[in-house]
Amino acid sequence: MPHDPGTVKLVGAGPGAADLLTLRAARAIEDAQALLYDALVCDEVVALAPAACVKIQTGKRAGRASMKQETINRLMLRLARRGLRVVRLKGGDPSVFGRVGEEQAFLNAHGVATEVVPGVTAASAAAAQFGFPLTHRGEARRLVFATATTRDGTLTDTGWAADREATLAFYMGRNQLPALAARLVAQGRSPDTPVMAVENAGRADARAMPGRLGDLGQALAAVGCEGPVVVVVGEAVAHAAAFSDLEVPATPVEARS
């Protein structure tokens, strides 16, 4: 869709590799006059924007502090009101823990039109790269995108946790995951449930650590801690090749290029 001046496109950048962008996302970036991008968006993707495009990083990286959400909102508004084609670029899919609802509501309330362009979310990238499905007939009938913690730092509600036919994909809150895993087990999910912690999913330097819910802490300790990590829990994960010879938590599996 053409990008009207003075509007904002909220665009999913996917998990990191430029060839995992949708064509629509790539076109929006190539056509942008102002680009606001999160720290999770890789340089390769930002480089698609024209040289003359105003490029603003809004997330934490190399020790720089993140911009406050309110500041980002105001900045998008100001750039759109100047009549620029603004792209707000977010890692993965903007609708999955991407605050897309808040940004869209703010802009629309101030009379600025928005369009959302979806992206490949981290869990999908992890599943594709390490060879397991997120749903599987007869085994994994539901998929829950969850985060370990709530805004005030308490563990998230896990009323749904004992459901053994659900695949759980955990975003953020990595330090809370061992405590959360213990709670899932206390609520009836088997400690033998397969888990896979994937760092830098979708990128050439991705690493995956297979394990069991009962020893999630060990699996997490074994993946690197530089990049973002998504943790997928559920029977479907056992279809990954990395799982077939798993007896004890093994060494991390590198991505095949």
Instruction: Provide the binding-site residues for ligand SAH, judged by CB under 6 A.
Output: 15-16, 40, 90-93, 96-98, 121-122, 171-172, 198, 200-202, 228-230
Question: What would the 3-class secondary structure string for the chain be?
Answer: CCCCCCCEEEEECECCCHHHCCHHHHHHHHCCCEEEECCCCCHHHHCCCCCCCEEEECCCECCECCCCHHHHHHHHHHHHHCCCCEEEEECECCCCCCCHHHHHHHHHHCCCCEEEECCCCHHHHHHHHHCCCCCECCCECEEEEEECECCCCCECCCCCCCCCCEEEEEECCHHHHHHHHHHHHHCCCCCCCEEEEEECCCCCCCEEEEEEHHHHHHHHHHCCCCCCEEEEECHHHHHCHHHHCCCCCCCCEECCC
What residue is closest to ligand SAH based on CB?
92
Compare residues 96 and 166 and give the one whose CB is closer to ligand SAH: 96
Q: Give the nearest distance from C-beta 97 to ligand SAH in angstroms.
A: 4
Compare residues 17 and 48 and give the one whose CB is closer to ligand SAH: 17
Q: Give the nearest distance from C-beta 83 to ligand SAH in angstroms.
A: 28
9 given a catalytic annotation? no
Q: Give the nearest distance from C-beta 7 to ligand SAH in angstroms.
A: 21
Compare residues 75 and 255 and give the one whose CB is closer to ligand SAH: 255
Q: Give the nearest distance from C-beta 82 to ligand SAH in angstroms.
A: 27
192 given a catalytic annotation? no
Compare residues 17 and 84 and give the one whose CB is closer to ligand SAH: 17
Q: Which of 4, 31, 43, 60 is catalytic?
A: 60
Residues catalogued as catalytic: 38, 60
